[in-house]
Amino acid sequence: MNRALKYYEEEISKNEDKIKDLNKIINIISIIRLGIVLAVIAAVYYFFKIENVVLLILSIVIGLAIFLIVAIFHNKKIRDRKETKLIISINSKGIDRINGNFKKVEDKGEEFLDEKHPFTSDLDIFGRNSLFQMINSTKTKFGREKLSEIISLKEIPRKEEIVKRQEAIKELGEKVKWRQEIEVKSTLKKSGLKDINKLLEWANSERKINSLFKIIPYFFIALTIISIVLVTIKILPITYLILVFMINYLVVKVLTKDLSEVISLFDSHKKDIEAYSNILELIDKEDFKSELLISLKNKLRNNDTNVIKEMKRLKSLVDWLGDSSANGYYLILNVTLLSDIFILRNLEEWRKLNGDKLKEWLEVMGEIEALASISNLAFDFESWCYPKIYDEDILEVKDLAHPMLGEKAVSNSFNLNSRNGVSRKVALITGSNMSGKSTFLRTIGVNLLLSYIGAPVCAKEFSCSIFSIYTCMRTKDNLEESISSFYAEILRIKILIEAAKRGEKVFFLLDEIFKGTNSRDRHEGAMVLINQLVKNGAMGLVSTHDLELCDLEKTKEWIKNYNFQEYYEGNKIKFDYTLREGRSKTQNAVHLMKLAGIEFNEK
Specify whether the CB–CB gap between 362 and 339 falls below 8 A: no
Average pLDDT of the residues in 9-14: 96
User: H helices of 413-459, where?
Assistant: 437-452
CATH numbers and ranges of domains, the chain: 186-380 (no CATH), 388-595 (3.40.50.300)
- What confidence tens digit (pLDDT) does each residue in 541-589 have? 999 888 888 888 888 889 999 999 887 777 777 888 999 999 887 665 5
In angstroms, what is the C-alpha Rg of the chain?
Answer: 33
Write the CA distances from 430 to 352, 360, 511, 517, 538, integer angstroms.
64, 50, 10, 19, 20
Average pLDDT of the residues in 387-415: 92
- Which pLDDT value is given to residue 179? 95
- What confidence tens digit (pLDDT) does each residue in 287-344 have? 999 999 999 999 887 667 788 888 888 888 877 765 555 555 556 666 676 777 777 7
Concatenated DSSP letters of 293-356: HHHHHHGGGGGG--HHHHHHHHHHHHHHHHHHHH-HHHHHHHHHH-HHHHHHHHHHHHHHHHHH
The vertex-125 CA angle with 121 and 127, nearest 5°, equals 75
3-state SS, residue 380: helix
> What's 433's DSSP letter?
T
Cα-Cα-Cα-Cα torsion 30, 32, 33, 35, nearest 10 degrees, comes to: 130
Average pLDDT of the residues in 353-376: 92
- Residue 152 pLDDT exceeds 90: yes
- What confidence tens digit (pLDDT) does each residue in 344-357 have? 778 888 888 888 88
- Which pLDDT value is given to residue 497? 93
- Which pLDDT value is given to residue 590? 57
Sequence-distant (≥ 6) Cβ neighbours of residue 375 within 8 angstroms: 168, 169, 170, 171, 172, 173, 175, 179
> What's 36's DSSP letter?
H
- Tell me which of 212-216, 235-239, 280-284, 305-309 is least confident: 212-216
Say how far apart CA 71 and CA 58 lie, in whole Å.
Answer: 20
- Tell me which of 129-138, 216-225, 397-406, 504-513 is least confident: 216-225
Between 287 and 188, the higher pLDDT residue? 287
- Residue 70 pLDDT exceeds 50: yes
Confidence of residue 434 (pLDDT cuts 50, 70, 90): confident
- What confidence tens digit (pLDDT) does each residue in 195-234 have? 678 888 888 877 666 666 667 776 777 877 877 777 777 7
- Which pLDDT value is given to residue 50? 84
At 462, which helix (H) or strand (E)?
Answer: strand 461-465
- Which pLDDT value is given to residue 207? 65
- Which pLDDT value is given to residue 270? 80
- What confidence tens digit (pLDDT) does each residue in 242-264 have? 787 788 777 777 666 766 677 77
Sequence-distant (≥ 6) Cβ neighbours of residue 415 within 8 angstroms: 394, 395, 396, 397, 424
- Residue 594 pLDDT exceeds 80: no
Q: Kindly give the interhelix angle for 339-380 and 216-232, rounded to the nearest 10 degrees.
A: 120
Q: Which amino acid is at 269?
A: H
- Which pLDDT value is given to residue 370? 96
